Copies of this chain bind each other. A is one copy, B any other.
Amino acid sequence: MAEPTDISDQRLLKGARARASIARHAADVASAEGLTGLSLGRLASDLGISKSGVATLFGSKEKLQLAAVDAAREVFVDHVVRPALTHPRGWPRLRALIDNWLAYIDEPVFPGGCFRTAGMVEFDSRPGPVRDALKADHDDWFALLEQEIRRAQEQGHAADLDPHAVAFHLDALISAANTAARFGDDTAIPTARAIIDRLLDA
């Protein structure tokens, strides 16, 4: 792509960068205080910009929530999914996904810990576009996990269990470890790891 030369291109890029940076901060706030705790005014005040500026970029609280979900999804892909793609498909990639996921829980990128766990639980009873976006993100993640579980099984690993049940089981253990670790239980992440090792080596 050529460098932007005219003023409107530069404005567009500046707007896109501002949008991404506000969305990322919104994901940080939401991870600790909930997506419902987000507000255009709060974000503007945190970032030292005008509320009308944030409103111009996002339009509504719901659009800001959706942008926070997108931003959190990208962070998860960057930390957990992308580095695993360098490993061969199937068993090695599944192990890499799980290792990255546990590391992501152990040293959380978001101040409130795992964004997906927090968002899913917060919105499980609130129908609407935000819940739909969280569900779509969750379903994509499960589809990726199930694909690698199926391949690992074809390679003779990870026991003869339904791939969706294995994905559910992994997600349950790691989400619970995230919450327990945030409540000060230092045994939670090693416990989850040991259970997962037993589960996959069976």
Q: Which residues of B contact A171 (CB under 8 A)?
A: 176
Which A143-163 residues sit within 8 Å CB-CB of chain B?
162
Residues A34 and B36 in contact in the complex (CB < 8 Å), given A125-B111, A179-B121: yes
Contact of B168 with A176 in the complex, beta carbons under 8 Å: yes
A60 shortest CB reach to chain B, Å: 19
Please give the count of copies of this chain that the complex contains: 2
Q: Which residues of B contact A125 (CB under 8 A)?
A: 31-33, 111-113, 182
A111-126 near B? 1/0 per residue, CB < 8 Å: 1110001101110111
Task: Say which one of A63-71, A91-99, A187-195 lies at the interface with B.
Answer: A187-195
Q: Which residues of B contact A162 (CB under 8 A)?
A: 191
Residues A183 and B36 in contact in the complex (CB < 8 Å), given A121-B118, A173-B169: no
State A182–B124 Cα separation when bound (angstroms). 6
| Count, chain A residues at interface, CB 8 A | 41
**Cβ-based interface call for A180 (8 A):** yes
Closest to A131 in B: B183
Classify the secondary structure of A's interface with B: helix
**Cβ-based interface call for A165 (8 A):** yes
Contact of A122 with B124 in the complex, beta carbons under 8 Å: no
**Cβ-based interface call for A37 (8 A):** yes
Please name 27 pairs of A and B residues whose Cβ atoms are closer than 8 Å in the assembled complex, sorted by A: A31-B125, A32-B125, A32-B126, A33-B36, A34-B36, A34-B122, A117-B121, A118-B121, A120-B183, A121-B179, A124-B179, A124-B182, A125-B182, A135-B183, A138-B183, A164-B187, A164-B191, A165-B194, A168-B187, A168-B188, A168-B191, A169-B173, A169-B195, A171-B176, A172-B173, A172-B175, A172-B177
Report the 5 A-B pairs with minimum CB-CB distance, sorted nearest first: A172-B176, A124-B182, A121-B121, A112-B125, A32-B125
